[in-house]
Amino acid sequence: MLEKAISGTKVYWGWIAFLLLLMSVGAACYWQQLSHGLTITGMSRDVSWGFYIAQFTFLVGVAASAVMLVIPKYLHDYHKFAKILILGEFNAVAMVVLCLLFIVADLGSPQRLMNVLLHPTPNSILFWDMVVLNGYLLINILVGWVTLEAERKQIAPPKWIKFFIYLSIPWAVSIHTVTAFLYCGLPGRGYWLTAVLAARFLASAFAAGPAFLILVTYIAKIFTGFDPGKGVLSTLGKTVVYAMCVNLFLLLCEVFTVFYSQIPSHMAHLQYLFAGYHGHGVLVPWMWSSMIMAVIGILILLVPKNRERDNMLIIACLLIFIGAWIDKGLGMIGGGFVPNPLHEITEYVPTQLELGVSLGIYATGFLVLTILYKVAIGVKEEIE
Amino acid sequence: MKTMRRNFLKIAAFAALGWGVRPASQLLASAGAEPSEGVLFASRHAVHAGPNSLKASRWAMVIDTTKLTEKIMEEVVHTCHSIHNVPEIPGKQNLKWIWEAHMDHLFLEDLHEFQPQAGAKSALALCNHCDNPPCVRVCPTKATFQREDGIVMMDFHRCIGCRYCMAGCPYGSRSFNFMDPRKHLGKTNPDFPTRTKGVVEKCEFCAERLAEGKMPACVEVSEGAMVFGDLSDPESEVRKLLAERFSIRRSPTLGTKPCVYYLV
Amino acid sequence: MYDKNKILVGLAVFVVFMTYPFWNNIGSAAYKRPELEKVKMAKECVEGVEFMRSEHMAMLNEWRDEVVRNGQHEYHSTATHRVHAKSLTKTCLKCHENKDKFCDKCHATVSVSPYCWDCHVDPKGEKK
């Protein structure tokens, strides 16, 4: 079916060329990182994880979003989602590829990557993250490909695929839970040491993921005329808004717990993020923007009529996606490491080279996404 | 034709799985250099001490903050960093194995503000070689591991530079080589390796000196302000000091069981 | 077969590339063992020459894990019947002082660059 990806319009090839260009920029920046070390990033002794890990954390959530299509379709026979299901699964593939690339980019000694496999350490959550991420990647490649192939041949998919489809449901929950467990079991990091972190991660994932899916489906519609079906995207919009409500609610729970208990080491991080701490507050405008965007997005999507209108749905999804991205992609790491265990402040801002590498990685993920979507939509056009 | 190929592939896949059982189980069984490493879970590594080495069941350090002076602290930091080739890097991507820190920052809310005037204003911070170290718990390759005598070690050869241990340490004791350290070394001590960019490093309680029967370098130059010994030996100097004077540790409620005690 | 021309041309290019080391070296001299600097200080190494030639890589790896991970510093040499410290810097390099004239000779010839030197300080060679 891959042959569908090597024939396309000028716009398609122009987009591919653009992505390849971004990838070469990223590669050049990464070459600098391999030569000089991670000093090219804005990370420091105090803020030892930065943009790369933050992107990985956010994208794991977007990847898990496929489950929000699988559960209604396979567990509740909601057949309206059948047409865009493949888009969700292929999106998961692209997002997990992005996660893995960001993790590798963040390693100080990537040439020793295999040590994680040669010396497996189940007491380390990073080990389990590797297991669940790669597992989810394989499951989605398998499920997506087999079901698409079956659809192309106009026959029912083989019976054994049902096992993997059902497996993908708890597995999707696990990838984000394990990623949250990376953070929420560390004794010295007050911002992360909360039981609710895994729940928050899942909530923002189930908001940002379907929001992203809605947006790329619209893009597919514009460029290929792909029609997801009536009322599909507006129904998915319900998932986005309710998940984002839960996410905001859990955040408010955090705020209450931290500020009502008045524990200084816990308050410090939220203070740094939303008000600045001892004169340092580079993230403050970002965090408030993220809150405002999330609230506006929620207010828009709560109104059923807005979910039916393409413009409103797109705007709201954009707001919620960006809001969630700022929260996880910037606030998570900055808030966790600032102030440091000695209550000193070292702020973190990504450098240009760091953003360059990230851009290249994002371009790679979008290349995977483009190719897979071209195949999926090509097959669907073929059978019509 | 098509069916034959499919069958061949199916059989090949099963054969590969079957053939992979023995190598996989061998890999899991060895799981590293020595069986003592633990098949999967990080267990404490046995120490095969030579005839000259100092031995203990549980190494610990006692720092008498009242005896620490600016001069002593400077000397301690300088000695440790020079014999271990720790580079001097200006800015936030620096490395430090032991350093001077204000008492407020070391003990946060554990020390109230009405301390005696004659009390120390600053002391030394270093790896606490915890008995329940979170850094060892999170390391995905067992590159940081704990010895039976309690010392939390670093295997610089195995470290992949993921910096999970740095996130896990609640004391900020670990440093990462963001760049090639050799560019910032003044005089290199040829008897101790440097590290490369991309690995995490920290104090190792001078394990290499202990193996030769010597006390840690910081202890030797501290003019008696730092004492090192076996916590499980009731006759050791560290135990005697802890029995005579009031002592605190950094963030003990976190359950890390740190083994660096501060006499205040 | 389909695309016969393209396949045959591609196959020819592939074969040429794959056999490059062979036809490129036609006429050159056979591999000559480089001259290594003789050690002045000691009579014997911790192991015999032939053993070292084939095994020093594995031996150093074993030493590395035994010293760092097990704290086992002592090596009982079967050649000298003495106990040596398992250390590149403190044992090997105490005799083989000049990395350029000893280690690098063979390594450069067979195009091997071990990364030991990124960390282990060699006494007289390059200090980058």
Domain ranges of chain A: 2-383
Instruction: Give how many domains chain B has, as a whole number.
Output: 2
Residue A188 tokens read as: 């010295």
Adjacent-strand bridge partners of B99: B125
Cα torsion A155, A158, A163, A164: sign: negative
Apex CA B167: angle with CA B162 and CA B173, to 5°?
Answer: 105
Per the model's pLDDT, the better-predicted residue between B36 and A79 turns out to be A79
Using CA atoms, how far residue A303 sits from A213, A294, A297, A320, in Å, is: 20, 15, 11, 15
Q: Give the confidence band of B150 by pLDDT, cuts at 50, 70, 90.
A: very high
In whole angstroms, give the CA distance from residue A91 to residue A217.
11
CA distance A202 to A60: 10
Residue A84's CB is within 10 A of a number of other CB atoms, namely: 26
- What pLDDT, on the 0 to 100 scale, is given for residue C52? 87
**Which CATH superfamily does the domain covering A2-383 fall into?**
Formate dehydrogenase/DMSO reductase domain (1.20.1630.10)
User: CB-based contacts of A65: which residues, under 8 Å, 6+ apart?
Assistant: A88, A91, A92, A205, A206, A208, A209, A210, A212, A213
Domain match, B8 and B55 both: no
- Residues in chain B, how many? 264
pLDDT above 70: residue B28: no
CATH of residue B197: 3.30.70.20
CB nearest B141 (choices: A121, A189, A342): A121
Angle subtended at Cα A276 by Cα A274 and Cα A279, rounded to the nearest 5 degrees = 170
* Cα dist from A162 to A142, A144, A331, whole Å: 11, 12, 39
Rounded distance, CA A115 to CA A99, Å?
Answer: 19
Q: Do B146 and B99 share a structural domain?
A: yes
Contact B199 A37 (CB under 8 A): no
Which of B82, B200, B208, B212 would best serve as a mutation to test chain C binding (most C beta carbons within 10 A)? B208
CA distance C63 to C42: 21
| Same domain, residue pair B258 and B159 | yes
What is the per-residue pLDDT across C33-90, written as a single tens digit (0 to 9) for each?
777 777 777 777 888 888 888 898 899 989 988 888 887 888 888 888 888 888 887 7
How many cross-chain Cβ pairs, B to C, lie less than 8 Å apart?
Answer: 67
Looking at residue C126, what is its pLDDT? 45
Same domain, yes or no, for B147 and B195? Answer: yes
Asked if residue A12 lies in contact with residue A219, where contact means CB atoms within 8 angstroms, the answer is no
Q: String of b and e for A8-36 (b: at least 16 CB within 10 Å)?
A: beeeeeebbeebeebbeebeebbeebeee
Q: Which among C62, C68, C121 has the least Cβ separation from residue B194?
A: C121
pLDDT, residue C123, reads 64
User: Range of B17's domain?
Assistant: 1-30
Q: How confident is the model at residue A252 (pLDDT cuts 50, 70, 90)?
A: very high
Q: List, in order, residues 6 or more apart from A281 with CB less than 8 Å away.
A: A272, A275
- CB of B183 within 8 Å of any CB in chain A? no
Instruction: Note whether A337 and A49 are within 8 A (CB).
Output: yes
Lowest mean pLDDT among A341-345, C58-62, C96-100, C108-112: C96-100
**More reliable by pLDDT, C75 or A252:** A252
Whether A140 contacts A146, CB under 8 Å? no
Q: How many CA atoms lie within 13 A of C64 on its CB side?
A: 18
Sign of CA dihedral B137, B141, B147, B148: positive
Q: Write the pLDDT tens digit of every residue in A171-228.
A: 999 999 999 999 999 998 999 999 999 999 999 999 999 999 999 999 999 998 898 8
At C128, is the pLDDT very low, low, confident or very high (cuts 50, 70, 90)? very low
Is the distance from CB of A297 to CB of A316 less than 8 angstroms? Answer: yes
Question: Residue B85 and residue B191: Cα distance in Å, rounded?
Answer: 10
Q: Do C121 and B157 touch (CB under 8 A)?
A: no
State the distance between the two ends of chain A, measured CA to CA, in whole angstroms.
Answer: 16
Q: What is the pLDDT of residue B29?
A: 57
Domain shared by B23 and B44, yes or no: no
Please provide the DSSP assignment of A267-323 as one string: HHHHHHHHT-BTTB-TTHHHHHHHHHHHHHHHHHHHSHHHHHSHHHHHHHHHHHHHH
In B, which residues are within 8 Å of A43 by CB distance? 93, 178
Greatest Cα pair distance in chain A: 65
Residues of chain B found within 8 Å of residue A109, distances taken between Cβ atoms? 159-161, 196, 198-199
Torsion angle of C-alpha atoms A384, B1, B4, B6, degrees rounded to 10: -20
Pairwise CA distance, residues B105 & B84, whole Å: 26
Q: Is the pLDDT of residue C31 over 50?
A: yes
Shared domain check, B66 and B193: yes
pLDDT band at residue A115 under the 50/70/90 scheme: very high
Q: Are residues B24 and B111 in the same domain?
A: no
If one counts every other C-beta atom within 10 angstroms of the C-beta of residue B132, the result is 13
Same domain for B201 and B84: yes
Q: Are B66 and B263 in contact (CB under 8 A)?
A: yes
Tell me if C89 sits within 8 A of B208, measured CB to CB. no
From chain B, the residues in CB contact with A337 under 8 A are: 167
Output the pLDDT for position A93. 96
pLDDT value of residue A63: 93
State how beta strands C74-76 and B59-64 pair: unpaired
Instruction: List the single best residue of B164, B195, B254 to mutate versus A (max A Cβ within 10 A).
Output: B164
Per-residue pLDDT, C99: 81
Mean pLDDT of chain B: 90
Partner A contacted by B23 (CB < 8 A): no
- What pLDDT shows up at residue C127? 44
Chains with 3 or more CB pairs closer than 8 angstroms to A?
A: B
Q: What percent of chain A has pLDDT over 70?
A: 100
Distance CA A188, CA A355 (A): 28
Please state the rounded mean pLDDT for residues A129-141.
96
The answer to whether residues B108 and B16 belong to one domain is no
Contacts of B157 (CB under 8 A, 6+ apart): C64, C68
Chain C residues close to B155, C-beta within 8 Å: 68-69
Percent of chain C at pLDDT above 90? 14
Which residue, chain included where needed, has tokens 């993908």? A168
Show the tokens assigned to B140.
């995905």
CB pairs under 8 A between A and B: 163
Specify whether the CB–CB gap between B256 and B138 falls below 8 A.
no
- B19 and B137 both lie in a single domain: no
How far does Cα A102 stand from its chain's mean position?
12
> Which two tokens mark C36?
């290594």
Phi, psi of A92 (to 5 degrees): -60, -40
Q: Are residues B79 and B17 in the same domain?
A: no
Q: Do C69 and B49 touch (CB under 8 A)?
A: no
